[in-house]
């Protein structure tokens, strides 16, 4: 499969919208399906990533680990109800090689907690490797690089 840059961008933008809607709607069980079986999902401050640090806030190295995160979110994690609203920026396609694309997309997430308080919880960019399999795009790697090194209290649901 060969994509040109514009086709890739349109497909990834569509993927990003679905991805954000999935999390914002609280359909967390569907979240792992956006990834390939072997994958890497990492939330890490941009500054840490640039320093070459490997540890961030959240690391999953397979679709199973993504599912485990959701299992724990539902079954073992204790926190007050909260929801996210992703504001997704335009996608920049960095490279297209065969059916694999690398792309960057800016984001901001507003978190609303049950007492009604809203705050800009996170801003940053997704640096994604997207693999098209039978025309279906999935993330084989998703780096969530946060602009801040600081997290407000806790991260429950994925970004």
Partner 1 sequence: MEKMENGVRSTFHHWPGKTMSGDTAPLSWPAQGLTRVPYTVFDDADVQAREQAKIFRGLTWNYLGLDCEIPKPGDYKTVFVGETPVILCRDEEGGVHAMVNRCAHRGALLCFDKQGNRENFTCVYHNWSYDLRGNLKSIAFKRGVRGKGGMPPDFDNAQHGLERLRVTSYRGIHFGTFSEQTPPIELYLGPVMCRYLERIYSRPLRVLGQHSQYLKNNWKLVMENVRDPYHASILHLFFGSFGLSRQTMKGEALLDERGWHHIVYTKRATDDIRGSEYEGGRIPNMKSHLKLADPRILEEWPEFEDGITNMVQTVFPAVTFQQISNCLGVRHLVPRGPNECELFWTLLGYEDDEPWKTRIRARQANLIGPAGLISLEDGAVTNFVQRGIRGRAPDAASVVELGGSSIESSENRVTEAPIRGFWKGYRETMGL
Residues that bind partner 1 (CB under 8 A): 43-45, 48, 51, 53-65, 67-68, 71-72, 75-80, 149-156
Minimum distance of partner 1 from residue 114's CB (angstroms): 12
Tokens of 120: 């800009």
**Phi, psi torsion values for 66, nearest 5 degrees:** -65, -45
Q: For residues 89 and 159, what is the distance between their CA atoms, to the nearest angstrom?
A: 14
The residue among 88 and 156 lying less far from partner 1, judged by its C-beta, is 156
Minimum distance of partner 1 from residue 128's CB (angstroms): 20
* Contact indicator for 145, 127 with CB cutoff of 8 Å: yes
Please list, in sequence order, all residues whose beta carbon lies within 8 angstroms of the beta carbon of residue 27, skipping any fewer than 6 positions away: none
The residue among 100 and 140 lying less far from partner 1, judged by its C-beta, is 140
Minimum distance of partner 1 from residue 69's CB (angstroms): 8
């Amino acid at each position: 499969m060969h994509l040109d840059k514009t086709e890739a961008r349109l497909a990834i933008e569509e993927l990003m919208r679905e991805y954000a809607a999935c999390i914002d709607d609280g359909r967390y069980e569907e979240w792992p399906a956006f990834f390939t079986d072997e994958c890497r999902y990492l939330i890490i401050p941009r500054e840490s990533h640039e320093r070459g640090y490997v540890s961030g806030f959240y690391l999953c190295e397979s679709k199973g680990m993504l599912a485990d995160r959701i299992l724990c979110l539902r079954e073992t994690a204790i926190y007050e109800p909260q929801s996210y609203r992703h504001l997704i920026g335009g996608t920049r396609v960095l490279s297209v090689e065969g059916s694999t694309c690398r792309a960057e997309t800016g984001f901001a997430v507003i978190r609303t907690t049950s007492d009604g308080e809203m705050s800009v919880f996170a801003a940053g960019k997704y640096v994604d490797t997207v693999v098209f399999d039978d025309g279906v795009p999935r993330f084989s790697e998703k780096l969530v690089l946060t602009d801040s090194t600081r997290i407000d209290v806790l991260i429950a649901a994925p970004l």
